[in-house]
A = this chain, B = another copy of it.
C-alpha cells in the first residue's frame, strides 16, 4: 500500500463559523493507495477526538487507528480505493491548531486560537479536496467526532459524495457527554503546569491534567462489562490493599493510558476539540433537525453499537426516524451492531461490521 503524508498550505482566508478568520492555515493529510484516472475512487476518512491522519498502515512505528479496516484486501480496500484522511483543524498532528504560529509573528496561538466547529472542519477538508481537483468522493466515513463530520458533510455538501457512512455518533451532543467534556477541560485547566496555556511547547512538562482528562474520557470509551472482563477486581502485585495509593489493575491501566496520551497529544488541542464536540448540533442554523436532514441527497448509512454509552443507538435511530419524517428516509439505513464493548467498538470490533461496510461501498 502506497502511503503519502503531506501538509497543504493555504494562504486564502478561512472564514470560521465563529466569525473569526484563519489566514494562512495548513491542512495535514495522508493518503493510502492510488487515485484512479477519473478520480472516482476516493474515500475520505474523518478521525475522532484523539485520532490523526494516520488511519492505516504503519507510520512512525505506530499502527494506523483504523488499520483493521483500511488496507489491501481489507473492508476499505486500498487496491481499489484511494483513501484520504486529513488531520482536523484544531488537532495536534500538523493542521492549524492552538500550537501553530500566528502569522506573521512566531508566537503561537495558544488560547487565542479561535473556537473551531465541526462545520469548520469539513469546510477546510472540502477546500483541500478542491485543491486536489477531487470534486466527487466515492464515500465519506467516520466514527464519533469523525461521524459528526460525516453527517455535517451530508447536509452541508450533499453532492460531495455518493455515500456517507457515520458510526458511533449523534446529531447533537447530549448534556451527558458535555458533562464529561467539562470534567476533562477542568482537569486540564487546573493543572499548574498547564499555566493557562503558557507551558513550554518545545519541552512539554508532564501534564497531569491532560492525563486525568484522558483517564476521564476512557470511562466513556469502554463499558462496565468490558472493564469487568479485562480487569475485574485484580489488584496490582506488590501494591498493598491497605495503602491509600495502592492500585487495582484498572487504575494502573488508566495511568498507563493517560501517560501515553499525554506524551503524544496537546492539552490545548484537546480543549478545542472537546469544545467543537460539545457545541456540535447538526440543526444549528436550520429550523430544526428535520429541516437540516432534508438537505441530504445521497445515501446515508448509520452504524451504531448497542453497548455504546457515549453516543447511544437511540440517538442514531433519531436521525433515521427524523429522515423518515423529512420524507427522505429511503436514503437512510441504520445498522445496529450487537456489542457490549462500548463506544470504542467502532475502533476495536471492526470485524463486526466489515462485511456490511464492504457491501455498502460496492
Contacts and interface: CB of A to CB of B under 8 A. Distances in A.
B231 A212 contact: no
A219 B180 contact: yes
Nearest to A223: B176
Interface residues of A, number: 58
A20 B240 CA distance: 13
A155 to B, nearest CB: 18
A223 B314 CA distance: 15
A14 to B, nearest CB: 15
Contacts of A223: 176
Contacts of A18: 242
Interface in A120-176: 172-176
B192 A279 contact: no
Given A212-B186, A216-B183, A175 B233 contact: yes
Contacts of A114: 242
Of A18, A216, A243, chain B has the most CB atoms within 10 Å of the CB of A216
Given A111-B244, A178-B251, A233-B281, A186 B215 contact: yes
Nearest to A217: B183
A79 interface: no
Given A180-B219, A183-B219, A227-B174, A271 B250 contact: no
A20 to B, nearest CB: 8
Most B Cβ at <10 Å: residue of A17, A176, A179:
A179
A187 B190 CA distance: 9
Given A18-B242, A190-B208, A190-B209, A179 B279 contact: no
A179 to B, nearest CB: 5
B227 A244 contact: no
B174 A228 contact: yes
Interface string A16-39: 011110000000000000000000
Which A-B residue pairs are the 10 nearest by beta carbons? A18-B242, A176-B224, A175-B250, A175-B227, A190-B208, A115-B242, A192-B192, A182-B251, A175-B231, A186-B212
9 contacts: A174-B227, A175-B232, A183-B183, A183-B216, A192-B192, A224-B312, A233-B281, A241-B279, A244-B272
Interface of A: 17-20, 111, 114-115, 117, 172-176, 178-180, 182-183, 185-187, 190-192, 208-209, 211-212, 215-216, 218-219, 223-224, 227-228, 230-233, 241-245, 247-251, 254, 271-272, 275, 278-279, 281, 312
